[in-house]
Structure 1
Amino acid sequence: MSLLTSFKALKEILKPCSNLSTTTSSSSSSSSLTQPSFSQEPEPALTISRKPPKSSLSKQLQRLGEPFRPLSQQNGSLNARTQQPQNSQGLRNEAQVVKFEDRQEEEEKEREFEDLGRTKLGQFQFEHTGPFEPLVLSLLGEVPVTRVPASINCRLLEHQREGVKFLYKLYLDNHGGVLGDDMGLGKTIQTIAFLAAIFEKDEESGESITLRGNQVGKKGPVLIICPTSVIHNWESEFSRWASFSVSLYHGTNRDLILEKLKAGGVEILITSFDTYRIHGSILSEVDWEVVIVDEAHRLKNEKSKLYLACLEIKTRKRIGLTGTVMQNKIMELFNLLDWVAPGSLGSREHFREFYDEPLKHGQRSTAPESFVRKADKRKEHLVSVLRKYMLRRTKEETIGHLMMGKEDNVVFCSMSELQKRVYRSMLQLPDIQCLVNKDLPCSCGSPLKQVECCKRIVPDGIIWPYLHRDNPEGCDSCPYCLVLPCLVKLQQISNHLELIKPNPRDEPDKQKKDAEFASAVFGADVDLVGGNAQSENFMGLSDVKHCGKMQALEKLMFSWASRGDKILLFSYSVRMLDILEKFLIRKGHSFSRLDGSTPTNLRQSLVDDFNSSPSKQVFLISTRAGGLGLNLVSANRVVIFDPNWNPAQDLQAQDRSFRFGQKRHVVVFRLLAAGSFEELVYSRQVYKQQLSNIAVSGKIENRYFEGVQDCKEFQGKG
């Protein structure tokens, strides 16, 4: 009764607001002396929050994020409430809202007490996008009727409703598929809405068929496998959108969670890729209702331990979520589809001969017309097959009308004179020369090539001896084992000379090798770069004099600073982030930073602080750690400091900002060192992206390259 008394007291307190509305509406704005005496109370008294006690769960969800007024008045009174006006018109609008709240209290009084002990849901990401009614998924005449609760459906966009229907059709057909929407289109929300439907989530009680006791048709639990960085994001989204029993199979309490799972107390079990790779044999014994793999492109390698572990999952209903269905090779597409729907694309060899080879050779710039026609036919056939198992939508075709658009710029930055000298010095090293001249005739007079004769190993090199310190005769891959280490060094020089210096955290042998390498390529310029050892000198590291990309970045940021732009600055190297951090401090920019060392439970707070704080201008992010699960729509400038071999990495970084909720035009700047190895990295990105567009989306792409991936006959930029 004490609670009822409190409600009545609150109601009495709010009643004078109605009287105030009547008085102010009948008097002019200038006749303040005719106001009732309580109008002279201090201003803060007028801004007291008048949110009524929470009523039933369905009504609560209906009004979440809303200014507590009838839905018919959404457009009319939203601005009045959000601006908190102090004039008479503002008070009149607020009084109307209070009257509506009083009626709601009368109608829902009994349910107030029933719901006091229930879990309170957080704010939703979206406003109402549709009517407050369930979304029926069942076919006509199907019993029981499966539907998405109205509390979820009213906040789904139209493309998300179509995505839920697609997932439900896969479920009915008893096989898996891929939801391949662009990043930022709400794949997580679509998945939760689908699960809420098949588990018959009741809007009022939050109960589901799995928790109503043993009965025929009881559903098993759902397994979600995702990157460690988004585990808590999944847990948070479930708590916002539906009432599921969610547990995390991660960390030290795995045994307790496993017991709870076996006892039937878990509806949704969330685990990470690494945890499942190690403990997958335990979880594979469970009969899962549905298995969902977030960022499913991680299953691109059929020989990886993760892929092999996921093959043991006991369910045919396997759903993959990814915005990058194919990243590097067309065969990655086969691996993913063959996991979600085994046999859907035939055997591996059939796919390679029927699709992979024709599509790659048909994209050659000088391919015969017959090859091009064959590739077009196979492309159309592949797309028609994929439609049965994959739904792929882009931002442009779904929410493009709700966004201001994105502009992608490639900025070729001239290296500093010192960088150029060091770059040329490295090209003269014996290790690099061995690779450059590998196909020339051997100098010993043999008819064999150098790579097949005297120059197969490089004992006088700097990189080669370290790689073969335990095997002076070389390895089976010599000299091709030098390719990756040399490319890494070339890319480091292109970005910043400090990156090639030895890392104090490395093993002593590696530090010694890196110091020797740095000494060889710096030569007489060693004093200009502060020696061969890593420097922590603030003035030296923050200076842009010897770094071409930082010189370009300095000019860009100078023009952005005066316009109030917010910037996401990505780099693949944590050491590069350290240098950029000193640069930002020197220039007086307020910034946040997120990399692999940032605790998972602190990442969301960093994101929220950056989005809400006008003073935070720059967010420094590691491409490895921050490519997934971050929503940074307050930023409208994105800088990719160093390109990645995998184009999906850079696209994921861009989409941290270019996603639903972005209110400004997004401009992306990809920095490349002009005339350096990075130009080849970019050309490889273009090649891979074109193959993905052809195989996945069936698009027609310009034929720029003569090279063919994984083909010795047609080697080149491809």
Structure 2
Amino acid sequence: MELRGLKSFHYSIFPHLYSRSLLTPSEIAALAEGDEFMFGSYEVQIQNPVDEPNAKQASGKPANTTLQPVQPPAAKISGIRSLKRPFSMVSSGESNPTNRHFVSPCGKIEKHDDWVIDEEEGNIGAGYVEGRIAHRLRPHQKEGIAFLYSRLKNECGGAILADEMGLGKSIQTIATCLALLKNKSLKIDKILIVVPSSLVDNWISEFRKWFPYGKFPAEAIRKVSDLRRHLSYLITPFIVCSYDMVLRYARHLFAIGFDVLICDEAHRLKNSNSKIRIMLENMNIQRRVLLTGTPLQNELAELYSLLDFAAPGKFGTPAEFMTLVEQGDCNELLDEIMLRRGANVNSKSLPPKHEYILYCRPSNLQMKLMEALCEDMFADPLTTILHLRTVANHPSLFLQKSLEIESKPKLREIIVEASKAKQAFTQNSGKLMVLGSLMEAFAQAKERVIVFSNFTQTLDMLESFCQNLAYEVLRLDGAVATKDRQKVIKQFNESKYYNTVLLVSTKTGGTGLNLIGASRLVLFDLDWNPANDLQAMARIWREGQMKTCHIYRLLLTGTIDEKILQRQIKKTGLHTIFDPEAQSAECKFRDEDLMEIFELSGDAESNTHRLLECDCGGDGTTIEEREDEDELEEEQEDIDDEEEKENENENEELDGDREDHEPEKDGNEEAHGNGDETTQDGTPKVSMGELNAWRHYSPESPAFPLFLRSAGFDPEIPPESLTFAMHYTSTF
């Protein structure tokens, strides 16, 4: 490179480049070894100044000027090598002006030793991750990279990375693929990353975080012109595109010839007959990685489908897979293909998380409408279920369905009465009253908040409601263009106005998004699939969150909302197949009980708590704490007995009393032991380790005001419609 005045000329490597350096002559004269400046879009670091004769001799074009690859020294490798050959800054001409190896500039980042994942073996070279990336990885991420690399170094290798949300599946995948690209013996050049359309920008942002300087290794394909541009030069190793783009341009993508396929939110591929699944299989990419925080959502057949896509044929037919599961021989095979870790592995990086289930009393109008719907159901039961869920959010959402109401005289009568009563809008919904109390408390605490719902109409209603509370409202749902979603997320995370609420559609914004700008999240309604709610809750409790997180589920007491919660609990029993620790959370819901969806019990504090047959009294104590108290009481009784035994006059009387009472006590224990599956009134008993580990609070308990304060409510103004609450704290 020759610096002359305000212009820079680069001869030896990039003769086509010509740029103004924006340096004055005095600044050029002051340059020394190690100094850095911008040359066009490149960041230049001075390796060694040379005198003019040698520079001109080096910049000439002798007969032999081909570039010879120079192996950089260990622990000094930086950036990505070219897909065709490594770059060198040393010419093979007669002069060697520096006689030193070039080291790519990396800003102010310190140099660190490369991390060797896999030693050289036979014809396969060693696998390593660059030091500048490796030193920032957490232990569980290094474990994940080693697992993925061990699978993908084989030509037909496949794996499922099923870590819970927020553990860094993206960087584990990127680092693994970089190691594969650098190992030239594997002959891997092109990697296709397929993601939901809402996450394309997230992945590009992740790449930019790790590659702030130099050549950018990834390209996003958002439209056909992007694809044509890439096909024109084919030098970018990573291609990021949406599932929709794969459906549209599968033939063009197939022509590129990818070596590795990465599928984010891979539970979308659970249907083996879906178009996107068939398209991806037809691309014939042998190495496959599936990323999902919820590998099992509804049934084991879905898990088998994902396993068979990642490693075709390894688990046999669906029937053979079910046999393996029933015989308990599946876990060893799963460990070879799938790696799953919980949030506890990242305990030092995550703040405490508080989860609340808030049971809200239905308004009179809600109960009347639900009773009428259950008595005079629509021809399709699913339609009735949808209407019940709508009424549970707010009656006004159901009243908008005038055509359906016309065919139901009783419903029309209720609506006419409601219009005459002119009751306040908020008071017509128990959940909206509780949400209002929460929003007022959040405003006082200067906390931003996120509210999720499954229904667009509900989000519309909540938008108007929050605006009336003087909140700045942002929306993230299907109506927001994909290209604008990242802007909304950035605006929310960086907002300086604390009274900001982000209204999110569970289906649109429940996966992959980073919403750590808030530490309060409300699920206004639950999803039948617990995985969707778990995905939504993980938007705030993840890497980078600095505040204690509070997550609220709102349920309408004694209605379909509680049935959805109970159904979610039943589904969690499926996860014991790959999470042995979950076996302690045994579920005893019966399918017959969950089918009683059209039964209402709005006068109960909590139907779920009643089915648990918990004897806590709503005072917030857990089973373990009550057992400890019982042990202390028994110890005290033993001490008292010892003292009484010292009195010889009362000793015989005490022994007699004890003999009289012990048989009766044993009989009672046997009677209770036979009633594990039902409550005393014959109704089914629900038992789940997780819910029993939660603290249960009743408004009748003296501990309730303390709960309100810890949950963020104003204890001086308790929410009138709150009938019961459950609280669980996650700390490690």
- Decide which of 131, 145, 149 is 1:164's aligned counterpart: 145
Partner Cα distance (1:633, 1:7) in 2: 47
Q: CA deviation at 1:415?
A: 1.0
- Report if the CA contact (8 A) 2:112-2:131 is conserved: yes
CA deviations on 1:635-666 (whole Å, 9 max, x unpaired) are 11110000001111111111110001111111
CA 132–257 in structure 1, closer or farther in 2 if over 3 Å, else same: same
1:514 shift after superposition: 3.1
Please state how far the C-alpha of 1:350 moved relative to its aligned partner: 1.1
Deviations 1:564-597 (A, max 9, x none): 2221111111111111111111111233221111
The 1:690–1:5 alpha-carbon spacing in structure 2 relative to 1, beyond 3 Å, is: same
If each structure's helix is expressed as a fraction of its own residues, which one has the higher value? 1
1:388 pairs with 2:336: yes
For structure 2, the residue ranges without an aligned partner over 5 or more in a row are 7-20, 47-97, 596-676, 678-683, 688-732
Change (3 A) 1:553 1:146: same
CA distance in 2, matches of 1:58, 1:351: 57
Is residue 486 of structure 1 aligned with residue 384 of structure 2? yes
Secondary structure, in 3 states, of the residue corresponding to 2:488?
helix
Q: Give the distance between the partners of 2:340 and 2:585, measured in 1 at CA.
A: 22
Q: Residue by residue, what CA displacement relative to the aligned partner does 1:453-495 show, whole Å, maximum 9, x if unpaired?
A: xxxxxxxxxx43xxxxxxxxxxxxxxxxx23222111111111
1:512, distance to aligned residue in structure 2 (A): 6.4
Whole-angstrom CA distance in 1 between matches of 2:497 and 2:22: 45
Tell me the alpha carbon deviations over residues 513-542 of structure 1, each in whole angstroms, 9 at most, x when there is no partner.
4352687524233363599xxxxxxx99x9
1:594 to 438, 452, 476: 476
How far 1:382 moved relative to its partner?
2.3
1:566 aligns with 2:464: no
Aligned equivalents of 2:29, 2:498: Cα separation in 1: 42
Are 1:501 and 1:518, in contact at CA under 8 Å, matched by a contact in 2?
A: no
Match of 1:74 in 2: none
Question: CA shift at 1:321, angstroms?
Answer: 0.5
Q: Which amino acid aligns with 2:114?
A: P
Cα 1:408–1:58 change in 2 (3 A) is farther
Q: Distance in 1 between matches of 2:366 and 2:486?
A: 38
Structure 2 residue 111 is the aligned partner of structure 1 residue 137: no
2:331 maps to a residue whose letter is V
Asked if 1:297 corresponds to 2:267, the answer is yes
Q: Separation in 2 of the partners of 1:599 and 1:423?
A: 36
The yes-or-no answer on 1:239 pairing with 2:122 is no
Match of 2:397 in 1: 499
Task: Report what 2:360 is aligned to.
Answer: 413
Among 555, 561, 582, the residue aligned to 2:437 = 555
Instruction: Please give the alpha-carbon distance, in whole angstroms, between the structure 2 residues aligned to 1:644 and 1:308.
Output: 28
Note the alpha carbon deviations across 1:28-73, whole angstroms, 9 max, x for none. xxxxxxxxxxxxxxxxxxxxxxx9747997999xxxxxxxxxxxxx
Instruction: Say which SS state the counterpart of residue 155 (structure 1) adopts.
Output: coil
Deviation track 1:207-254 (CA, whole Å, cap 9, x = no partner) reads xx6xxxxxx964342111110101122223223324455343442426
Paired residue secondary structure (2:542): coil
1:167-221 per-residue CA deviation (whole Å, 9 max, x = no partner) reads: 11011233101011111111111111112121129xxxxxxx6xxxxxx964342
Pick the structure with greater CA Rg: 2
**What is the identity, as a one-letter code, of the residue corresponding to 2:481?**
P
* Number of aligned positions between the proteins: 519
**Do 2:369 and 2:414's aligned partners in 1 also have CA atoms closer than 8 Å?**
no
Q: How does 1:301-700 map to 2 (within 5 A)?
A: 301-355=271-325, 358=326, 378=328, 381-396=329-344, 398-429=345-376, 432=377, 463-464=378-379, 482-502=380-400, 513-516=403-406, 520-526=410-416, 528=418, 543-617=425-499, 618-697=501-580, 699-700=582-583
Please say if residues 645 and 681 of structure 1, whose CA atoms lie closer than 8 Å, have aligned partners that are also in contact: yes
Confirm or deny that 1:155 pairs with 2:155.
Answer: no
Kept in 1, the 8 Å contact 2:196–2:242? The answer is: yes
User: Who is 1:103 aligned against?
Assistant: none
Corresponding residue of 1:186: 168
CA–CA distance in structure 1, aligned partners of residues 486 and 498 of structure 2: 15
CA distance in 2, matches of 1:227, 1:301: 16
Post-superposition offset of 1:393: 1.1
Corresponding residue of 1:363 = none
Aligned mates of 2:27, 2:259 — CA distance in 1 = 50
Residue identity in the other structure for 1:168: Y
How many angstroms does 1:131 deviate by? 7.3
Match of 2:604 in 1: none
Q: Do the aligned partners of 1:291 and 1:319 also contact (CA within 8 Å) in 2? A: yes
Pair 1:595–1:529, CA change in 2 (3 A) = farther
1:388-446 CA deviation, whole Å, 9 max, x = no partner?
111111111x21122222122111111111111111111111xx3xxxxxxxxxxxxxx
Q: Following the alignment from structure 1 to structure 2, what is the Cα–Cα distance between the partners of residues 422 and 4?
A: 73
Q: 1:178 to 1:554 in 2, by over 3 A?
A: same
Aligned counterparts of 1:501 and 1:513: Cα–Cα separation in 2: 10
For 1:582 and 1:554, the matched residues in 2 are separated by 12
Equivalent pair of 1:301/1:332 in contact (CA under 8 Å): yes
Secondary structure of 1:661's aligned partner: coil
Change (3 A) 1:337 1:52: same
**TM-score (norm. length: structure 2):** 0.64
1:224 aligns with 2:202: no
Q: Alignment partner of 2:587: what SS?
A: coil
**What's the offset of the Cα at 1:328?**
1.0
The answer on whether the counterparts of 2:447 and 2:498 sit within 8 Å (CA) in structure 1 is no
Change (3 A) 1:330 1:220: same
Secondary structure of 2:547's match?
coil
| Structure 1 gap ranges (5+) | 14-50, 61-109, 202-208, 210-215, 359-376, 433-462, 465-481, 503-510, 532-538
Distance of 1:610 and 1:420 partners within structure 2: 37
- SS of the aligned residue for 2:571 comes to helix
User: Residue 544 of structure 1 contacts residue 550 of structure 1 at CA under 8 Å; is this kept in 2?
Assistant: yes
Is the counterpart of residue 259 in structure 1 residue 231 in structure 2? yes
Q: Is the 8 A contact 2:370 2:388 kept in 1?
A: yes
Cα distance in 1, alignment partners of residues 397 and 405 from structure 2 = 12
- Three-state SS of the structure 2 residue aligned to 1:633 is coil
- Separation in structure 1 between the aligned mates of residue 271 and residue 451 of structure 2, nearest angstrom: 30
Which residue identity lines up with residue 316 of structure 2 in the other structure? G
Aligned residue type for 1:259: L
CA distance in 2, matches of 1:239, 1:184: 18
In the alignment, the residues of structure 2 paired with residue 217 and residue 412 of structure 1 have an alpha-carbon distance, to the nearest angstrom, of 57
Partner Cα separation in structure 2 for residue 422 and residue 7 of structure 1: 82
What amino acid is aligned across from residue 525 of structure 1 in structure 2? I
- For the pair 1:176 / 2:158, whether they are aligned, the reply is yes
Judged with a 3 Å threshold, the aligned counterparts in structure 2 of structure 1 residues 235 and 559 are, in CA distance, closer, same or farther, namely closer
- Partner of 1:660: helix, strand, or coil? coil
Instruction: Tell me, yes or no, if the aligned pair for 1:637 and 1:668 is still in contact at 8 Å.
Output: yes
- Relative to 1, partners in 2 of residues 1:4 and 1:590: Cα closer, same or farther, differing over 3 Å? closer
Output the CA distance in 1 between the equivalents of 2:318 and 2:44. 49
Whether the aligned pair in 1 keeps the contact of 2:521 and 2:550 (CA below 8 Å) is: yes
Alpha-carbon spacing, 1:11–1:264, altered in 2? closer, same or farther (3 Å): closer
